[in-house]
A and B are shown apart, each in its own frame.
Chain A
Amino acid sequence: MMSPIPARLSRRGFLGATGLVVAFSLAGRAFAQQSGGGEGGAGPAVLAPDLPGSLKSHPFLDAWIQIEEDRPITVFTGKVELGQGIKTALIQVAAEELDVEPAAIHLVTADTLLTPDEGLTAGSHSMQDSGTAIRNAAANVRMLLCAAAAEKWGVSAINVMTTGTGSLQAPDGRVVSYREIAATMSLHVTAIPDAPLRKPSVFRSIGKELPRVDIPAKITGGAAYIHDMRLPGMLHARVVRGPSVGTQVDKTDIDLVAAMPGIVKVVRKGAFMAVVAEKEWTAIQAMRQLQAGAFRRVAKPLPGKGVVETLKALPTQEIVILDTNAPVAPAVKTVSARYTRPWISHGSIGPSCALAHFEDGMMTVWTHSQGTFDVHRVVAELIGLPQEKVHAIHVEGAGCYGQNGADDVSADVAVIAKELPGRPIRLQWMREQEFGWEPLGPAMVTELRASLDTNNVIVDWRHEVWSNPHNNRPVGAGGVLAGSEVTPGFPVPEGKPIPMPEGDGSRNSNPLYALPNMHVLYHFLKDMPIRVSALRSLGAHLNVFSIESMLDELAKAGGIDPLALRLAHMKDERARAVMQLAAEKFDWSGRRPGDGRIGSGMGFARYKNLGAYCCVFLQVEIDRETGNLAVRRVVAAVDSGQAVNPDGIRNQVEGGIVQSLSWSSREEMTFDADTRKGFDWSSYPIFRFEEVPGSVEVHIVNQPDMPFLGTAEAAQGPTAAALANAIADATGIRLRDMPLSAAKIKAAIGVL
């Protein structure tokens, strides 16, 4: 069984951590901070702006690293494992700068009593925020250990070496362990910004393909997930809701269900209803009985129109993203196009799950939310406890790819547990609840217009994007479903845009290309007719799709090669390098020309123009009888700065490519006036094995000693664009409305 309580800390460590909790609440929240890519609430206050990464907010070394006599070196991160491999990469970074074996590190992930608050684990920020902080904190600790050993031995600190095994060595061969030296000093000191970092030439851990630390339990049935937690005396709960957001079950026979054998309680708080049972199957049967009757819509009817009609009917707030002007030659060719994407489900394979235990006035919540500290604040407000009476602990769930039901289910279970003091409660949503109630990835529209001069120079570039907010991460009780169901309810907060450079609907609407005249306008739509929030890559999926489709449309208009057009407008050497490497590995120059059936295409972006560079080439084959599409081969190149775990980067990019192909070629949540129409894997199909590409190759451009660049979301946009461009190359048909489905391809091909 998974231990409900994290490894017990020694008194000194615990006091250190408690001291930090006090510091967080005194320091308040800074509204300019972009931790987690600007998603969620404001990040923790910046206390030390000169320090790198999240050290800015948590400058004390013992917030990150503790070396105690009786346990492994403990490293703390406010980020969490989502299946992206972050634990392994952070352990490698810590091991490198402490100069110990990775196995000597015990990593503690987000826990509101133990770890720094680093905001959300989102926006491909973990290596930039936490990886950078841990690396520099570890370098500081190593520097202090060397200094203390030097003092002990009466030698100069530069002559003290680390051995790679957790010891320090004097020039005369004397050796002392880190633990022994650490016992003579305090790590409750602030970091300095320039502690010497280890050089790539001597790296022992960074850059190595360390096997993921979380995989062994996952392939042997170990307790790997929150779903696998079994606490003594635990009860099982299910929430009772209508078929999708905005509905409520009508009158149900609660007394009859409450009297069923094995039912412990039917919890009702306003319109919130849940059933609690000794056994999980009993809870499910009771839930089904309570949901069996009629339901009614309690919110406004769903739009029931297409993406463009729905979004363009909403009031807008205009945000100028770019407005540059330079003298240019006259335009001779102009292309205008509109691109769209529909509402997309996160589609986690494991429906969201959370546990809670209310005992002695203290609420403990185990959550797989990306924002453990936000869950802490949400739960405190929702159930009316002071924040110090709520303890939130992250435990891994199924992949979420953005804001799925994780935050909602954590709030649900806390409401239930508050009604049953002393009994731990486990709540998992059902498949249809996850599809019906999670926030969807927002639909979006772009309209682009671009012009070439006689030399195929892009002399004008206009990009307008219409989008709802992508950041509706709950930071208070009004942001979760239960907040609107309990009485008195909490108002749903108004949607806000994420400012550039991260952006939300505007993310990656600013081309990285060197274009003299760029006019980019974000029509921000705060009113949300459909519940939406962050989906991996936010607006970058459609913005990159649009930019990179337009470049191919321009290349066609100008009669030049799409790669040549891109390279002619790209000054960033690292961008050029990933494009050229991917082109070479794909054999772009030797590719088979589009022949009505087979074709190739490319897409490029630097995620947010701040993160990893990613270029994707792929080849498709179209069945002209049916419109069916097969992706035969994908080749990508990625530059993530200093690569910490190359296989981890490949795994993320491979996954991003396959997921984006599924989103972009077949996924779409549909609606009628009352409900969502996708509620299972037959009404919302995603890729199965026969549909994934024939092959996927990912090549890494390593940049020793360069900053870590967030990678996990880098492939989503370039892959979608490469798909559209390959279909256009194969068939001459330009599809601009995702999903690029077989039906749309067939309709465009027409009767053979």
Chain B
Amino acid sequence: MTIELKVNGRSVSVHADPATPLLYVLRDDLALNGAKYGCGLGQCGACTVHVDGRPVFSCVTPVAAIGGRSVRTIEGLGTLDKPGILQAAFEQEQAAQCGYCIAGMIMRAQALLERNADPSEAEIRAYMRTNLCRCGTHMRILRAVKRAAIMLKDARTETGAVQ
């Protein structure tokens, strides 16, 4: 069937079995690389994207369940030339080894910082526990999330903006 979706601010329509997990629609129909197949079970977080600002495991979310809600993937956070704050923080901390988990990590961390702009170390660890990394890059990922929180704070101070 034809399914209408809003992805990274763009309206798209795809032909898919309504039971298809969102992950495969993003990767195969919309050619978005960020969300990764890791387990298909919602256990590793490599497929994390946002639906109306909330982090979801796209590998276990049927595409037909999205409805009119907005989907955001890492491609929606920034680009090589204009990276988002978390992307910039991960680059500055060199917070990747193989990096297969990293897009999911960044999406999870983005959701955290949108809820809690100044999380403690324990809050970051607790929130990020849904996402697995096998290379052992955890310490850098934690540093990158903390760095992003500081960058956000600085950006707000500079612009005088209130979130």
Partner-B contacts on A (CB < 8 A): 1, 82-85, 211-212, 214-225, 227-228, 230, 236, 279-282, 347-351, 396-399, 401, 428, 430-431, 647, 651-652, 654-659, 662, 680-682, 686-690, 692-693, 695-696
Q: Mark B69-112, 1 if CB is under 8 A from A, else 0.
A: 00001110011100100010011001011111111001000000
| Interchain CA distance A230-B40 in the complex, whole Å | 20
A/B interface sample: 28 pairs, CB < 8 A: A83-B97, A85-B97, A214-B99, A215-B96, A215-B99, A217-B80, A218-B103, A219-B90, A221-B75, A222-B33, A225-B36, A279-B28, A281-B19, A351-B37, A399-B100, A651-B94, A651-B140, A652-B97, A655-B135, A658-B136, A658-B137, A681-B44, A687-B136, A689-B129, A690-B126, A692-B138, A692-B139, A693-B139
B64 at the A interface (CB under 8 A):
no
Q: Are B96 and A681 in contact (CB under 8 A)?
A: no
Also in contact, A220 and B140, with CB within 8 A (given A83-B97, A681-B43): no
- Contacting residue for A280 out of B28, B106, B131, CB 8 A: B28
Q: What residues of chain B lie closer than 8 Å to A681, measured between beta carbons?
A: 39, 41, 43-44, 132
| Interchain CA distance A654-B37 in the complex, whole Å | 25
Also in contact, A218 and B31, with CB within 8 A (given A279-B24, A431-B38, A659-B135): no
Q: What residues of chain B lie closer than 8 Å to A689, measured between beta carbons?
A: 124-126, 128-129, 131, 138, 141-142
Partner-A contacts on B (CB < 8 A): 16-17, 19-21, 24, 27-28, 31-34, 36-41, 43-44, 46, 73-75, 78-80, 83, 87, 90-91, 94, 96-103, 106, 124-126, 128-129, 131-142
Q: What residues of chain B lie closer than 8 Å to A658, measured between beta carbons?
A: 136-139
CB distance from A59 to the nearest CB of B (A): 33
- Residue with the greatest number of chain B CB neighbours at <10 A, chosen from A397, A401, A651, A696: A651
Q: Are B97 and A349 in contact (CB under 8 A)?
A: no
CB distance from A277 to the nearest CB of B (A): 11
- Contacting residue for A219 out of B32, B99, B142, CB 8 A: B99
Q: Are A688 and B129 in contact (CB under 8 A)?
A: yes
Q: What residues of chain A lie closer than 8 Å to B103, measured between beta carbons?
A: 218-219, 221
- Contacting residue for B36 out of A82, A350, A657, A687, CB 8 A: A350
Q: What residues of chain B lie closer than 8 Å to A221, measured between beta carbons?
A: 32-34, 73-75, 103
- Residue with the greatest number of chain B CB neighbours at <10 A, chosen from A220, A230, A398: A220
Q: What residues of chain B lie closer than 8 Å to A222, measured between beta carbons?
A: 33, 80
- Contacting residue for A654 out of B24, B27, B139, CB 8 A: B139
Q: What residues of chain A lie closer than 8 Å to B141, measured between beta carbons?
A: 689
| Interchain CA distance A679-B84 in the complex, whole Å | 36
Q: What residues of chain B lie closer than 8 Å to A82, measured between beta carbons?
A: 98
Q: Are A686 and B38 in contact (CB under 8 A)?
A: no
Once A and B bind, how many residue pairs between them come within 8 Å at the CB atom?
177
Interface residue SS majority, chain B: loop
| Interchain CA distance A658-B103 in the complex, whole Å | 20
Q: Are B139 and A349 in contact (CB under 8 A)?
A: no
Which A residue's beta carbon lies closest to that of B74? A221
| Interchain CA distance A682-B42 in the complex, whole Å | 11
- Contacting residue for B137 out of A401, A430, A655, CB 8 A: A655
Q: Are B134 and A428 in contact (CB under 8 A)?
A: no
- Residue with the greatest number of chain A CB neighbours at <10 A, chosen from B21, B91, B106, B131: B91
Also in contact, A687 and B138, with CB within 8 A (given A216-B80, A220-B83, A225-B100): yes
Q: What residues of chain B lie closer than 8 Å to A214, measured between beta carbons?
A: 99
Q: Are A399 and B142 in contact (CB under 8 A)?
A: no
- Contacting residue for B134 out of A236, A347, A647, A695, CB 8 A: A347
| Interchain CA distance A659-B138 in the complex, whole Å | 10
Which 7 pairs of residues, A with B, have the shortest CB-CB distance? A83-B98, A658-B136, A399-B98, A221-B34, A218-B99, A655-B136, A398-B100
| Interchain CA distance A695-B134 in the complex, whole Å | 17
| Interchain CA distance A431-B29 in the complex, whole Å | 22
Q: What residues of chain B lie closer than 8 Å to A216, measured between beta carbons?
A: 80, 91
| Interchain CA distance A349-B45 in the complex, whole Å | 10
Q: What residues of chain A lie closer than 8 Å to B94, measured between beta carbons?
A: 211-212, 215, 647, 651
Q: Are B100 and A349 in contact (CB under 8 A)?
A: yes
- Residue with the greatest number of chain B CB neighbours at <10 A, chosen from A221, A279, A397: A221
| Interchain CA distance A216-B134 in the complex, whole Å | 20
CB distance from A233 to the nearest CB of B (A): 14
Q: What residues of chain B lie closer than 8 Å to A223, measured between beta carbons?
A: 33
Which B residue's beta carbon lies closest to that of A353? B37
Question: Given A223-B33, A658-B137, list of 8 further CB < 8 A pairs?
Answer: A83-B97, A211-B94, A215-B94, A222-B80, A351-B37, A662-B136, A680-B43, A689-B124
CB distance from B99 to the nearest CB of A (A): 4
| Interchain CA distance A749-B78 in the complex, whole Å | 52
Q: Are B134 and A219 in contact (CB under 8 A)?
A: no
Also in contact, A281 and B97, with CB within 8 A (given A219-B103, A686-B134, A690-B129): no
Q: What residues of chain A lie closer than 8 Å to B38, measured between beta carbons?
A: 349-351, 431
CB distance from A433 to the nearest CB of B (A): 11
